[in-house]
Amino acid sequence: MFGISDPGIYLAYLLVFLCVIFAVVYGIVNWNKGGTDNTLPLEEDIKWEEEELKIKEDEA
Amino acid sequence: MNTFVLGLIVLAYLISLTYLGFKGYRKSSTDKDYLLAGGEIHPFVMAISYGATFISSSAIIGFGGVSANFGMGLIWLTFLNMFVGVVVAFLFFGRKTRRIGHRLNAHTFPEFLGKSYNSKAIQVFAGAIIFIAMPLYAAVVLKGGAVFIEKIFEIDYNIALLLFALVIAAYVIAGGLRGVMYTDALQGTIMFASMIFLLIWTYKSIGMGFVEANRHLSEMASAVPDKLQAIGHMGWTAMPKSGSPWWYTLVTSLVLGVGIGVLAQPQLVVRFMTVKSTKELNRAVLIGCVFILATTGIIFTVGAVSNIFFMQTEGQIAINVVKDVDKIIPEYIKASMPGWFSAVFMLTILSASMSTLSSQFHAMGTSIGRDVVSTLSKKQRNNTRITRSGIAFAIIISYVICYTLSIGVIARGTAIFFGICAATFLPAYFCSLYWKRTTAKAALWSMISGFAASLFALLFMHAKESEALGISQLIFGKPVLFAKIPWPVLDPMIISLPVSIIVIVAITLLSNQKEIKTVSA
């Protein structure tokens, strides 16, 4: 692949190209997505709080 | 190159830097402006600044020369730079860091860690480690830039070093992080454009395309000198022999050490807190990846392909034509590129050095000023003034260290700092984002043990440092504690990072959760 016979090298190039394609697609798809509000809880914050409650319950 | 034209180009560059530094100064009236560029930086500026800070002149000149000598195995580093250094860093670390950092009102990386764990000790310790360890990294980059100026302008090294340090000091001290990031964006753009030209002209000058050049390079494997074959060199389009000394250096030190170490670089982490929303980070993933591909991806490829050029023109491979690895890329540029490009490339190297240095100075200054002095001081003081003094102090220290270093330590100094940062900060930083149960005590001990393990591995195990420092010889009567491969060539981070991970997990699991405050994000 790419004129290189060692998979240790052509795999690295392949991953580099796949990574840049992912970044370009991700960047374009999410170009205008994403909030500015730092106070509203996100889904992961809610999960975090649930985990916190569980830790406290386990200790009680 | 005509000296007058060269002078004009440099003058235009300096005027642009002055303007951008002044722009940063005018817009910096609060602590948040000075430390976080106001928290509303444009995604293009943020991504290019991140990339330009990350990629120093040692990545282009030092690692570019290494790829000319040892081949395309370094492309794995480009992959990790993009995947870990941009995709994972921005999406899994950056988004949460930005949000939590804003919520905690953190202005620096140590402050972020300290407030996350409700621990001033963590903030002060992290600030002190940055201030102790970073001057070595800054000094090697500073020295590299000064040597380059000395050669190009044929002026005295001492004058070159002083001028170089003063120019950077002016816009960092005056403009704060705004000044740093605006100038980074200009410098990153110069780097990007000149690398694209370098790639196109390289294939044009050898008269081949990417695939054809790779095939040709594969056929040249028999030209590898015997002494390189002995340490594992198998050709420029092949990985080194598995388990050989060069394989360990490439995989553990250059690829993993630098590739993973980027996640806990204080001067890079702080950039996540400079943007207003996750929208900017999403956009920065695209810009950052393309920038890394265009810098390290191109220079590592061009470095290897330069062997074809030297074989065509001189009948020998690069390392036989240019004996010093650090001089292969500059000599290749001089021999293969149009005359005007030498001047542009000089600006590229200066830009790569300055963009890394300015962020290092800013990170060191804020660490000693805000995280150590202001945190320990009981009096209310003018924080920005203390930080400015801290930056000035950091620049002076780095300047003094320059006189104690040899030029050969550039790439090593970079890898040492990345390794220390990963072992000291990465587990505590990761847990502050993703493991609520982590205790402040566990985080602090993880940082202390990671730093101590890094020092131990550097002083007694990793041959390059332990042999040079001689402490192992003095105490144990031998240059390294374990002489059997892989220990002397295994990167210190491979030993120290697991230590700090084990410590943070073990202490957290053993801690009484009722007594100790946990992550407050």
B468, part of any domain? no
Q: SS3 of A1, please? A: coil
Residue bearing the bigger pLDDT, B24 or B286: B286
Angle at B184 between CA B180 and CA B190, to 5 degrees: 155
How sure is the predictor about A44, in pLDDT bands with cuts at 50, 70 and 90?
Answer: low
B502, part of any domain? no
Q: Which residues of A touch B71 (CB under 8 A)?
A: 9
Q: What pLDDT was estimated at residue B194?
A: 93
B59, part of any domain? yes
- Domain residue spans in chain A? 1-34
Q: How far is A32 from chain B (nearest CA, A)?
A: 6
How sure is the predictor about B521, in pLDDT bands with cuts at 50, 70 and 90?
Answer: very low
Q: How far is A11 from chain B (nearest CA, A)?
A: 9
Q: How far is A46 from chain B (nearest CA, A)?
A: 12
CA–CA distance, B210 with B179 (Å, rounded to integer): 39
Q: Give the residue-averaged pLDDT of B244-261.
A: 83
pLDDT tens string B225-237:
888 888 888 999 9
Q: SS3 of B204, please? A: helix
How sure is the predictor about B477, in pLDDT bands with cuts at 50, 70 and 90?
Answer: confident
Domain count, chain B: 1
Residue B65 in this model has a pLDDT that exceeds 50: yes
Q: What ipTM was assigned to the predicted interfaces of this complex?
A: 0.85
Of chain B, the percentage scoring pLDDT greater than 70 comes to 95
When mean pLDDT is compared across A32-41, B23-32, B323-332, the lowest value belongs to A32-41
Q: How far is A27 from chain B (nearest CA, A)?
A: 5
B27, part of any domain? no
Average predicted confidence (pLDDT) for chain B:
86
B316, part of any domain? yes
Using an 8 Å Cβ cutoff, are B218 and B72 in contact?
no
Query: Does A60 reach chain B within 8 Å, measured CB to CB?
Result: no
Q: Which residues of A touch B277 (CB under 8 A)?
A: 34-36
- The strand ranges marked E within A1-60 are none
Nearest CA among B486, B488, B484 for reference residue B458: B488
B273, part of any domain? yes
Q: What pLDDT was estimated at residue B213?
A: 94
Q: What pLDDT was estimated at residue B416?
A: 84
- Cβ-defined contact of B282 to A30 (cutoff 8 Å): yes
Q: Give the residue-averaged pLDDT of B245-250.
A: 85
Q: What pLDDT was estimated at residue B512?
A: 66
Q: Which residues of B touch A36 (CB under 8 A)?
A: 276-277, 279
CA–CA distance, B305 with B328 (Å, rounded to integer): 12
Q: Determine the structural domain holding residue B289 and report its residue range.
A: 37-421
Q: What pLDDT was estimated at residue B2?
A: 67
- Cβ-defined contact of B215 to A35 (cutoff 8 Å): no
- Cβ-defined contact of B82 to A28 (cutoff 8 Å): no
B345, part of any domain? yes
Q: What pLDDT was estimated at residue B380?
A: 60
Query: Does A39 reach chain B within 8 Å, measured CB to CB?
Result: yes
Residue B351 in this model has a pLDDT that exceeds 80: yes
Q: What pLDDT was estimated at residue B24?
A: 82
Which residue of B76, B287, B513 is in closest CB contact with A55?
A: B513
CATH of the domain at B146: 1.20.1730.10
Please list the helix, strand and coil fractions of chain A in percent, rounded to the nearest 5, in that order: 65, 0, 35
Q: Give the residue-averaged pLDDT of B446-460.
A: 94
Q: What pLDDT was estimated at residue A42?
A: 59
